[in-house]
């Protein structure tokens, strides 16, 4: 029996699509298990530009605050 189907322009061997944008697809080990079990496709959690930007800005400010602490220590220790 041929179950080949097309979904969003992709040819899939069968219509089994794991549509969990949650716990099942958040962990890479689960994703690999689903693939091994025969899932034709997976729906993953969306990444939004705001999330990526927030993470980048957060790491930037974390490094800046670390630099600020080092500068304060240098001033307190009499560093020229």
Taking the C-alpha atoms of residue 72 and residue 70, their distance in angstroms, rounded to an integer, is 5
The domain containing residue 17 runs over which residues?
1-46
Q: Does 53 share its domain with 38?
A: no
Q: Does 29 share its domain with 51?
A: no
The answer to whether the CB of 18 falls within 8 A of the CB of 24 is yes
1-46 residue pLDDT tens: 999 999 889 899 999 888 876 777 888 898 899 889 999 998 887 7
The answer to whether the CB of 24 falls within 8 A of the CB of 52 is no
Per DSSP, the residues of 1-35 read ----EEETTEEESSS-EE--SSHHHHSHHHHHHHH
Residue 73 has a pLDDT of: 54
Q: Does 42 share its domain with 55?
A: no
Q: Does 22 share its domain with 55?
A: no
Q: Hey, how many other C-beta atoms are within 10 angstroms of the C-beta on 56?
A: 10
Q: Does 31 share its domain with 67?
A: no
Residue 74 has a pLDDT of: 55
Residue 70 has a pLDDT of: 55
């Amino acid at each position: 029996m041929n179950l080949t189907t097309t979904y969003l322009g992709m040819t899939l061997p069968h219509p089994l699509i794991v549509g969990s944008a949650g716990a099942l697809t958040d962990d890479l080990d689960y994703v690999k298990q689903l693939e091994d079990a025969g899932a034709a496709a997976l729906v993953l959690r969306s990444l939004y530009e705001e999330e990526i930007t927030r993470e980048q800005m957060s790491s930037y400010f974390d490094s800046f605050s670390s630099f600020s602490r080092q500068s304060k220590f240098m001033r307190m220790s009499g560093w020229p």
